[in-house]
Amino acid sequence: MKKTLQVSTAVAIIAISSSVFAQDWSGAYIGASIGHMDLQDKGTGYDVGGVPTRYTQTNSFDGSSIGLTAGYNWKLRDTTLFGLETEYQHREDNSGSTFQYYEGAIDTDYSLDTEINEVVSLRARMGELFNHNKTLAYVSAGLAAAKVKRTWIDSTTETHTSWQSGWTAGIGLEHMYNQHLSIRTDLRRTDFGKQTVAAELWSENYEQDLTENSFTLGLVYNF
């Protein structure tokens, strides 16, 4: 009788512990991340009347990030998770310079410097749990905005700083290390859309198309 009671008690404890661990995916969380990204700022010139000037430039560069994340997860089924997440990234060395091209030929008299200082995003996540509900494979999609500083350069300079917004989407893996801590990796494509930027020193406007591919590694605390 005592052995039966002991076995029953042990089974109950294991079942309760497993249930509690499985439920750890639901609820609020915060996190921090580091990342690397490859960016491209592609522009086409137009005069003030909207006629193409045949000047273009493609500024390709890379950099790193330090990010803070906060979000909330809901379990839709035993192995299906849905969440909402917001993120702030401070960018390090996200800048590059390029000469302009006129009808495909380089013109070293004119250049553009692009610098990304901050990025914010709001994303939804949908994923499936596996590995005894300890690992989450997910897709994410949402809105993103970057604070961009662009400087036109010839014998003088002209600088414009503004927020440029668009969409972001990606895939990721997150593994629950213990009851509160998880680690994650994330691959993401972000298109910050197109923005018209004045270049008054040349009496032009440039339509700038900003995109990036990023990889981040993060640590998450689950409440």
Structure tokens at 165: 């917004």
CB 178 within 8 A of CB 220: no
Q: Which residues pair with 119 in a beta bridge?
A: 89, 146
Q: How confident is the model at residue 93 (pLDDT cuts 50, 70, 90)?
A: confident
Q: What is the pLDDT of residues 116-154, one digit of tens each?
A: 999 999 999 999 999 999 999 999 999 999 999 999 999
Residue ranges of domains in the chain: 2-222
Structure tokens at 154: 């010839």
Whole-angstrom distance, CA of residue 72 vs CA of residue 137: 16
Q: Which of 211, 212, 202, 47 is nearest to 111 (CA)?
A: 202
Average pLDDT on 204-208 reads: 97
Planar angle of CA 179, 185, 190, nearest 5 degrees: 135
Residue 139, pLDDT score = 99
Q: What is the pLDDT of residues 29-63, one digit of tens each?
A: 999 999 999 999 999 999 999 999 999 999 999 99
**Which sign, positive or negative, has the C-alpha torsion 29, 33, 36, 38?**
positive
C-alpha count within 13 angstroms, C-beta hemisphere, residue 103: 0
Question: Does domain 2-222 correspond to CATH entry 2.60.120.640?
Answer: no
Average pLDDT on 185-197 reads: 98
The pTM (predicted TM-score) of the whole model is 0.86
pLDDT exceeds 60 at position 12: no
